Structure 1
């Protein structure tokens, strides 16, 4: 079906429909609740998190994925609409990536070179690569179900951004547990974990979000 034909079909159909944005909220919330339950029962926050929050590195590694999450949700909605304009949100996302790159550069400047490798590897890289995708799985499923109501021109890309949305949520949640605070660790392992979720989202979206 062509985009113009789909738009005419939707315009001719006066059946009340749940808005795509509301569908995303309703689809995401159950997955979010499941992730919070898993978080509370299995891992929980790191000790003394409230006292540690003012530390710039800890604050950054939590706030940054929240910012990506806040950008990726509206971006996924735009990509799920036949004539959505994702460009403004893409620019915001690029800006966030530049912020992450700047944080890495600052970390390299303030750390002695002999500490770079230790901060990059950290203590929980493997745990990070498991827990972030795991806590993103249910939110990703709910997001894809919601976006199925739309009409993505590029289903694979829409699925990948759905993965970014869910993965950023999982990363923000995991950040409150993770003892590795360096931007070097965040830029490497959090990003890799989110890319895993995005890859799953792209694969699922290319099949599930077709119209």
Structure 2
């Protein structure tokens, strides 16, 4: 095969990768949610006061904040799955999600007397949070990794980290239904730490598994 023909074939395959990747990604995301939900149903449970919690601000806000990171991670995974993709929009999406969390933290600090900050941060179940989110995220991470192998990333570690971030948010969204600690300070401290750990694992796995 001539060099020009090889280059054309690679370019053609790269151009088609988003079409192959997107259906696999969305199917994997659905399976990831099912896997996390099934594990949640047999290991944890929805908090007993969920009806009352839905009438508060902090409980729904917790899901909205995690959802912002889930949306940013999904966008990042689809974009970084293509070769030569511009990563700047990914950084903007992640910055917006982080900005939403930071804004919620600032409002919480203003609304809560300083003497209550430590109680809000530590909460009642920080250790359970650190254990449960990775547990609920492991299956989704494996499923997403398989789907993302259809892509053609030139930054496999970054793509793996995006998959880990997305898997971590899937686990966190389910865990949030059980968690009785709703303060943005708790979310920023412990949810973020657990999700970041899954993102780091995803980056390490992706650096090897997602090469092409």
Question: TM-score, normalised to structure 1's length?
Answer: 0.90
Aligned partners of 1:7 and 1:70: how far apart in 2? 34
Instruction: Say whether the 8 Å CA contact 1:28–1:140 is kept in structure 2.
Output: no
Question: What residue number does 2:108 align with?
Answer: 107
The alpha carbon displacement at 1:16 in A equals 11
SS of the residue 1:176 aligns to: helix
Question: Following the alignment from structure 1 to structure 2, what is the Cα–Cα distance between the partners of residues 50 and 71?
Answer: 29
1:55-204 equivalence runs, <5 A? 55-204=56-205
Q: Which runs of 5+ in 2 are unaligned?
A: 1-5
The reply on whether 1:37 has 2:38 as its aligned counterpart is yes
Match of 1:27 in 2: 28
1:87 Cα offset (Å) = 2.4
SS in 2 for 1:84: coil
Structure-2 separation of matches of 1:143 and 1:150: 11
Tell me, in whole angstroms, the C-alpha distance in 2 between the residues paired with 1:17 and 1:86: 16
Equivalence for 2:3: none
Distance 1:86 1:160 in 2: 13
Q: Deviations over 1:65-108 (max 9, x none)?
A: 12211221121111010032342243122012111111111111
> In structure 2, what is the Cα distance between the partners aligned to 1:198 and 1:39?
20
1:119, 1:182 within 8 Å by CA — same for their partners in 2? yes
Hey, what's the Cα distance between the residues in 2 that align with 1:41 and 1:95?
34
Q: CA RMSD in A?
A: 2.2
Q: Secondary structure at the match of 2:208?
A: helix
TM-score (norm 2): 0.89
**Contact 2:145-2:206 within 8 A present in 1 as well:** yes
What SS is found at the alignment partner of 1:184? helix
Cα distance between partner residues in 2 of 1:126 and 1:183: 17
Between 1:18-27 and 1:194-203, the stretch displaced more is 18-27
Q: Structure 1: any 5+ residue segments left out of the alignment? A: none
Number of matched pairs: 206
Secondary structure of 2:181's counterpart equals coil
Q: Please give the alpha-carbon distance, in whole angstroms, between the structure 1 residues aligned to 2:69 and 2:17.
A: 32
Counterparts of 1:184 and 1:17 in 2: how far apart (Å)? 38
